[in-house]
Amino acid sequence: MKKAIKFSRIFLPLSLASIAVIVSGIFGLQTVGINLGIDFQAGFIGKVRIAPPAVELTYTGSRSITVDQTATAINLIMTGIGSDNETVRYPYTEYAVVGDFERAVSSIPGITVSVSAPASYPLSKLFTDSGSSVRLSARPFRFHYIPEGSAAIDSDDIREAIARFPSAAVQVLGNPENRAFQIRLRDDGTDPNASATLREGLSDALSDAFGKDNIALISTDFVGSRFSKTLASQAVWLVLGTLVLIMAYATIRFRWDFALGAILAIVHDALMMVAFIVWTQMEFNSLTIAAILTIIGYSINDTVVVFDRIRENMKLHPELSIVEHLDLSQTEVLSRTIITTVTTMLAVLSLFVFTTGDMKDFALALLVGMVSGVYSTIFIAGAFISFVSRFRKDGGRIREKVVAPKASDGALV
């Protein structure tokens, strides 16, 4: 029999340490609170770039001309009564720089082109304001750009510009060259037209600070208070339902104390994640819920492997106590646990290093959860099973059933 590592000797101190971390997380939840994402909090969210105009288009003709920018080209869609409808494409492969685009568009009757960017600036790097009308008119339609060598704008500049919104949250997206910012404004539920009000307020605040022509609102989203509450309640029920199903599965496959130990380990992992999210102020959104559910699945898989080995060893070595079975079984699967966890964490670590924004937070949550899942399987679930065994008459042992011989087997009767 393999020599067992005495994990059971530190069940109590580590359990107390876990309780201390969980209590600190609950305390932080009441005092600091969770940084709720737009998925679970009513409000407006916008992706903004601070950039001057590169090209301005105006039109004074009788036709209707709309602008459509895609990943491969800029299209001008022309319609009108008594004339042919057509779409003029300016693919980036043929019109690589702003100068090429200017010369081509200037040939269209009624369109006036005003260029502020260098003629050699790549056309594919231009972007538009999602709030602007895509139909050309006497009012300029603007393409924006990031001038090379210009001073970078950081998140502190944005926060200062929108100081009139005290609850606003600002997140930097991409590298400094792109200068994209995600801005979240909360809705307190008092304004029935909060979406329009918050959008206009954000646009006015940024325009006052950086100039109206220099604001490009790339994308917007809005979540109402009723919808955000529904999402939050659905997330809670989803996690609770998962716990109930795992409890039923573990009870049928093992025993009630094993099942309860597994649930306790999962709850421990979830509360550890809550403490981590509270104290790091990581944004709590739908990806965070996905990370927690992934961690629950990973943790219960590791726990079931250990429980299977415990059940097998109980039948092979019925003379051992439950604590000895825990130490022996966890020692036997330790190498498997380390190998699978480390290889999985390497993949998640690459996701953490090479991504940004929500995906980076998702990967970080998985890394923390995986470590917590391995820890809870050994020290939390094991500690609970060891504790419960003290109150069982059989000491937690599983005895082989003795089957009486049948008369047909040749036994004397």
Cα 241 from Cα 153, distance rounded (Å): 46
Side chain identity at residue 105, one-letter code: V
The whole-number pLDDT of residue 224 equals 60
For the segment 361-407, what is each residue's pLDDT rounded down to a tens digit? Answer: 888 888 998 888 888 888 888 888 888 877 766 555 555 443 344 44
pLDDT score recorded for residue 395:
52
Tens-place pLDDT, residues 44-79: 888 888 889 999 999 998 889 999 999 999 999 998
Band of the pLDDT at 227, cuts 50, 70, 90?
A: low
Predicted pLDDT at 400 = 42
Question: Residue 230: its pLDDT value, please?
Answer: 67
**Per-residue pLDDT at 38:** 63
Q: What is the DSSP code string of 86-144?
A: EEEEEETTTS-BHHHHHHHHTTSTTEEEEE-S-TTSBGGG-EE-TTS-SB--SSPEEEE
pTM greater than 0.75: no
- Smallest CA-to-CA distance from 184 within 214, 153, 221, 233 is with 221
* Cα separation, 262 vs 268, whole angstroms: 10
CB contact at 8 A, 20 and 268: no
The structure tokens listed for 299 are: 């943790």
Residue with tokens 């008119």, as numbered in its chain: 137
pLDDT in tens, 125-151: 999 988 788 899 999 999 999 888 777
Helices (H), 254-356: 256-280, 286-316, 322-332, 334-354
> What is the C-alpha to C-alpha distance for residues 322 and 386, in angstroms, rounded to an integer?
6
At 133, the amino acid letter reads: S
Residue 269 gets the label, from left (phi > 0), alpha (psi -120 to 50) or beta, of: alpha
Show the tokens assigned to 316.
């092979």
Instruction: Tell me the pLDDT tens digit for each residue of 153-171.
Output: 888 888 888 888 877 778 7
| Complete domains list, the chain, with CATH | 7-39+227-389 (1.20.1640.10), 50-144 (no CATH)
* Structure tokens that stand for 197 in this block: 């009000």
